[in-house]
Amino acid sequence: MPALVPRYRLLDHHGRAVTQDDFAGSYQLVFFGFTHCRMVCPRELAKLDDVLEALGPLAERVQPLYISVDPERDTPEVMRAFLERHHPRFLGLTGTTQDAEAAREAFHVFARRGVDPEDPEGYAVPHTTLTYLLDANGDYLTHFADVLDAERITARLRELLQ
Amino acid sequence: MTTLVDRPGTGRPGAGSAAPRLTAEQAGHLRHIDNLSRLPRGDWRHMAGPLPMQEDFNAYRYQLGYMSLALALAHYHRLPAAPVVFHDTLDRLIQRMLEPDVWTYWRDTSTQGGFGPIDLPQLPSRTDPVAVDNIMYSAYLQMMTLLFTMLFDDRRYEQPDSLTFAFRPILFGRDRRDSFAYDQRTLNERIYWNMVRNGYLGVACEPFCVFQICNQIPILGFRLHDHLYGGQTAEEVMEGYRRAWSQFGDGVGPDGHFAKFVVQRNDLLPTDLLIDQGSAWTDAWLGMLLNMWRPELVRDTYRDKLENWIDPTPEGTIAVRNLALPPGAEGLAEPGLHSEFGWVAGWASEMGDRATLEGLFRHADTVMNPQWDKGGLYYPRHDATYDTAGRFASMTPTVSNAMLPYARLNVEDGLRTLFQRPWTDRDRQRPALTGRDDDVDVLRAVYDDEKDHLALSVAPRHGLTTVAATLTISRVAPRPWTLLVDGEPVARSEDAATDAGRGIGVRRTPDTLTVSLPLEGVRDVDVQWRR
């Protein structure tokens, strides 16, 4: 059995129920985070925007997904507003606390709510910063650590997508 | 107090033919580890400690893990041209690690339910010893197999199911018979994802308890895996680890000593609990390992804190203090059970502190009753902390079997060098000793690239006066060579004779040279290639 079986059942930022199977035929580029994140998510999402831009037409084969680790605050509406404004290539996914936790478990994602005095609601959710790539069947293909820059991720994606 | 010494080894098989011979004690440690590796299944002679259930630091997994590291360091730094001394021994230690006696404790330990004064949730029992938590076992197995592949380019633990945990009780649980199959790559992958899902703080030993010490071992494993198969996992994990521990004082307590572990929050514990009081075993054990990738911090700590933990005696030896027991073990064992003496020796060896190391060994050899058995050196178990004369005399199996060998065979920054510069094909493809009789100790085995010279020294094992030795040297072609015994030329590649006189026999194949000779003490056997 593979070490990572990326299964999820969530709502997209239009409020539609989705699973990994709904994107069959596309490679899924998955990043976990939360819209109140001030440092990691803006940096990593911007990097992935650059990657997708650099891929050119190949990017059409990729469905970028941003899965919330803070479903209490990240409703579909909140995610849609955030992504359409800042990262329009991405589709946001969120859900119930249980469904979001199940998705995190499936991807082995770390996320723990902790106190953050600088946050308006007083908390943040530090989380794993890996970017996952699922193949056209929705199976885990590889992942990219945040130490990799956009150029290296782009080069690796080109190899995998072509 | 601390005197740093020269580096006796460079970690490069091709450098320095003037390497010193192993001492009798160093060879005796290697022989003892080899003897233990050969015991039949279920025979844990010399290895059983005073506490049952594999719960303390004398558990077989720790002994096997640090015996393996001692072998790796000795091969890498001391006898790089003698794979024959190490290959089969390390393989047997890996096989011992797979014995149920070593890992079935996990069915009980995985249920947690409380540790010392800390209440913790009860969990369902798990049998698979590497799937979740239990880094105190899984990482040592990971490291052992990856060391084996790196040192010998032997790929047997890449094979599917080569690391299988078979659970087959006879008198109970027929429905619980099970088997969990891994290989070194799937094991590495499993540990990696456990590290990720815990935010790189580390993987727990017993549930909820994330120790710094045991999480250095997977970092070495990831480094070796990256080296063998590509990737930057170690770099990713080290960066994540530092980030995760930044909320816990960077792993250093307010008193400047290394922090022990974090009890992670759970249903009974609302917030993470950092256990950060200094102790000899944590400073020394962690310092020894952490030198791989945080050498400045480790050297500062060593300089500032070592003297808290050592105890120079009026006789000029060095003992240790701040002796501890696991919580709950009071009345079952005496302080010293934590093997502080061994960890301090290991740390001093990695720091190259010869004065401290010599003081510790002088103490061991004076007070701790060294014994020889079948050519192997060991120190008999001594459960009482002090002897009748009031001297520190605690001797645990981990200290005797693993850590004194480790400390005697390591060199300054020895683990750090191995971590930074694992061997490649070039290192493994030089001329080397690939065959010898079991009764022969190898005291020197170094190939010098610049001089194109292989220097071997061999002797009957301790306790024997005479043996007939047969040595096989591989990768001798294609250059012409001269064989020397005790400095005298006895054969040349172009000669056909098999009798070199003085009882020395020489047989040749296109790529090997087999030398038979009588040994009545130490003899030097050299091969000089001619250009």
Three-class HEC string of B340-395: HHHHHHHHHHHHCEHHHHHHHHHHHHHHCCCEEECCEEECCCECCCECCCCCECCE
Share of chain A above pLDDT 70, in %: 99
* Closest-CA distance of chain A to residue B196, Å: 7
B108 with B227, same domain?
yes
Banded model confidence at residue A108, pLDDT cuts 50, 70, 90: very high
Place of tokens 């650099």: A54
Contacts of A109 in chain B (CB under 8 A): 196-197
Residue pair A41/A51 in contact (Cβ under 8 Å)? The answer is: no
Give the number of C-alpha atoms closer than 13 A to the C-alpha of residue B233, restricted to the C-beta side.
26
Residue ending a domain, choose from B252, B278, B304: B278
Taking the C-alpha atoms of residue B378 and residue B391, their distance in angstroms, rounded to an integer, is 19
Give the number of C-alpha atoms closer than 13 A to the C-alpha of residue B377, restricted to the C-beta side.
23
B273 with B291, same domain?
no
Q: A126 CB near a chain B CB, below 8 Å?
A: yes
* Closest-CA distance of chain A to residue B457, Å: 48
* Eight-state DSSP code of residue B306: H
Whether the pLDDT of residue B59 is over 50: the answer is: yes
Q: A130 CB near a chain B CB, below 8 Å?
A: yes
Please give the interface size between A and B, counted as residue pairs whose CB atoms are below 8 Å apart: 31
Average the pLDDT over B438-451 and give the result.
96
pLDDT of residue B265: 94
CB atoms within 10 A of CB A86: 14
Going through B143-269 in order, the beta strands assigned E by DSSP cover 163-167, 178-182, 209-211, 261-263
Average the pLDDT over A14-27 and give the result.
97
Whether the pLDDT of residue B428 is over 70: the answer is: yes
* Closest-CA distance of chain B to residue A103, Å: 12
Q: A110 CB near a chain B CB, below 8 Å?
A: yes
Whether the pLDDT of residue B162 is over 90: the answer is: yes
User: Residue A132 pairs with which residues in a beta bridge?
Assistant: A30, A143
Among partner residues A4, A110, A147, which is closest to B199 by beta-carbon distance? A110
pLDDT of residue B16: 39
Tens digits of residue pLDDT in B185-210 = 999 999 999 999 999 999 999 999 99
Q: Is residue B386 situated within a structural domain? A: yes
Banded model confidence at residue B7, pLDDT cuts 50, 70, 90: very low
Average the pLDDT over B288-305 and give the result.
98
Give the per-residue SS3 of B85-96: HHHHHHHHHHHH
Residues B199, A130: C-beta atoms closer than 8 Å = no
pLDDT of residue B495: 87
Searching chain B, which residue's CA lies closest to the CA of residue A104? B197
Whether the pLDDT of residue B4 is over 80: the answer is: no
Q: What mean pLDDT is reported for chain B? A: 94
Average the pLDDT over B113-134 and give the result.
95
pLDDT of residue B327: 87
Whether the pLDDT of residue B3 is over 50: the answer is: no
B217 with B232, same domain?
yes
Tokens of B421: 């510069």
Residues B189, A3: C-beta atoms closer than 8 Å = yes
Residues B199, A3: C-beta atoms closer than 8 Å = no
Tokens of B413: 């920054």
B519 with B453, same domain?
yes
pLDDT of residue A162: 84
Q: Is residue B189 situated within a structural domain? A: yes
Residues B193, A4: C-beta atoms closer than 8 Å = yes
Residues A145, B198: C-beta atoms closer than 8 Å = no
Taking the C-alpha atoms of residue A122 and residue A141, their distance in angstroms, rounded to an integer, is 37
Q: Is residue B287 situated within a structural domain? A: yes
Residue ending a domain, choose from B373, B395, B429: B429
Place of tokens 């100790």: B441
Residues B193, A110: C-beta atoms closer than 8 Å = no
User: Residue B447 pairs with which residues in a beta bridge?
Assistant: B454
First to last CA, chain A: 27
Banded model confidence at residue B9, pLDDT cuts 50, 70, 90: very low
B454 with B504, same domain?
yes
Contacts of B235 in chain A (CB under 8 A): 147
Contacts of B199 in chain A (CB under 8 A): 110, 112, 126, 128
Banded model confidence at residue B5, pLDDT cuts 50, 70, 90: very low
Residues B197, A108: C-beta atoms closer than 8 Å = yes
Tens digits of residue pLDDT in B390-423 = 999 999 999 999 999 999 999 999 999 999 999 9
pLDDT of residue B104: 97
Of B8, B1, B4, the C-alpha closest to B354 is B4
Taking the C-alpha atoms of residue B459 and residue B523, their distance in angstroms, rounded to an integer, is 6
Instruction: Specify the number of domains making up chain B.
Output: 3
Banded model confidence at residue B426, pLDDT cuts 50, 70, 90: very high
Average the pLDDT over B226-242 and give the result.
96
Whether the pLDDT of residue B328 is over 90: the answer is: no
Q: Is residue B161 packed enough to be buried (19+ CB in 10 Å), middle (13-18) or exposed (0-12)?
A: exposed
In total, chain B counts a number of residues equal to: 531
Of B211, B390, B371, B172, the C-alpha closest to B289 is B211
Whether the pLDDT of residue B352 is over 90: the answer is: yes
B198 with B304, same domain?
no
Phi/psi at B209 (5° precision): -110, 110
B238 with B355, same domain?
no
Banded model confidence at residue A147, pLDDT cuts 50, 70, 90: confident
B107 with B252, same domain?
yes
Taking the C-alpha atoms of residue B389 and residue B319, their distance in angstroms, rounded to an integer, is 14
Residues B197, A109: C-beta atoms closer than 8 Å = yes
Banded model confidence at residue B290, pLDDT cuts 50, 70, 90: very high
Identify which of B172-176, B360-364, B491-495 has the greatest average pLDDT: B360-364
The full set of domains in chain A, from first to last, is: 9-161 (3.40.30.10)
Residue pair B16/B411 in contact (Cβ under 8 Å)? The answer is: no
* Eight-state DSSP code of residue B122: B
Contacts of A145 in chain B (CB under 8 A): 232, 236
Searching chain B, which residue's CA lies closest to the CA of residue A111? B199
B327 with B368, same domain?
yes
Of A129, A162, A134, A161, the C-alpha closest to A146 is A129
Pairing of strands B467-474, B512-519: antiparallel
Taking the C-alpha atoms of residue A98 and residue B405, their distance in angstroms, rounded to an integer, is 51
* Eight-state DSSP code of residue B110: T
Residue B333, SS3?
Answer: strand
Residue B403, SS3?
Answer: helix
Residues A147, B235: C-beta atoms closer than 8 Å = yes
Whether the pLDDT of residue B10 is over 80: the answer is: no
Whether the pLDDT of residue A154 is over 80: the answer is: yes
Q: Is residue B104 situated within a structural domain? A: yes
Whether the pLDDT of residue A40 is over 60: the answer is: yes
Q: A147 CB near a chain B CB, below 8 Å?
A: yes
Residue ending a domain, choose from B397, B429, B461: B429
Taking the C-alpha atoms of residue A25 and residue A134, their distance in angstroms, rounded to an integer, is 10
B151 with B270, same domain?
yes
Taking the C-alpha atoms of residue B96 and residue B73, their distance in angstroms, rounded to an integer, is 20
Whether the pLDDT of residue B158 is over 50: the answer is: yes
pLDDT of residue A141: 96
User: Residue B263 pairs with which residues in a beta bridge?
Assistant: B209, B273
Whether the pLDDT of residue B11 is over 50: the answer is: no
Whether the pLDDT of residue B474 is over 90: the answer is: yes
Residues A130, B196: C-beta atoms closer than 8 Å = yes
Q: Is residue B19 situated within a structural domain? A: no
Q: A128 CB near a chain B CB, below 8 Å?
A: yes
* Closest-CA distance of chain B to residue A147, Å: 7
Among partner residues A3, A128, A145, which is closest to B232 by beta-carbon distance? A145
Residues A147, B232: C-beta atoms closer than 8 Å = yes
Q: Is residue B86 situated within a structural domain? A: no
B478 prior amide bond cis, ω within 30: yes
Tokens of A115: 């106190």
Task: Residue window 71-100, chain A: list those with CB within 8 Å of chain B.
Answer: none
pLDDT of residue B14: 42
Question: CB neighbours of B187 closer than 8 A, spacing ≥ 6?
Answer: B130, B138, B141, B142, B145, B163
Residue pair B103/B129 in contact (Cβ under 8 Å)? The answer is: yes
pLDDT of residue A1: 60
Write out the residue range of the structural domain in which residue B499 sits: 430-529
Share of chain B above pLDDT 90, in %: 91
pLDDT of residue B176: 83
Taking the C-alpha atoms of residue B422 and residue B234, their distance in angstroms, rounded to an integer, is 13
For chain B, list residues whose CB is within 8 angstroms of any CB belonging to chain A.
Answer: 186, 189-190, 192-194, 196-200, 232, 235-236, 239
Contacts of B196 in chain A (CB under 8 A): 108-110, 128, 130
Q: A108 CB near a chain B CB, below 8 Å?
A: yes
pLDDT of residue B257: 97
Contacts of A126 in chain B (CB under 8 A): 199
B404 with B470, same domain?
no
- B57, B168, B502 from B489: Cα distances, Å: 51, 59, 12
Taking the C-alpha atoms of residue B102 and residue B120, their distance in angstroms, rounded to an integer, is 25
Q: Is residue B83 situated within a structural domain? A: no
Taking the C-alpha atoms of residue B211 and residue B48, their distance in angstroms, rounded to an integer, is 24
B135 with B257, same domain?
yes
* Closest-CA distance of chain A to residue B477, Å: 42
* Eight-state DSSP code of residue B147: H
Q: Is residue B93 situated within a structural domain? A: no
Searching chain B, which residue's CA lies closest to the CA of residue A105? B197
pLDDT of residue B12: 46
CATH of the domain at B453: 2.60.220
Tokens of A120: 């308006």
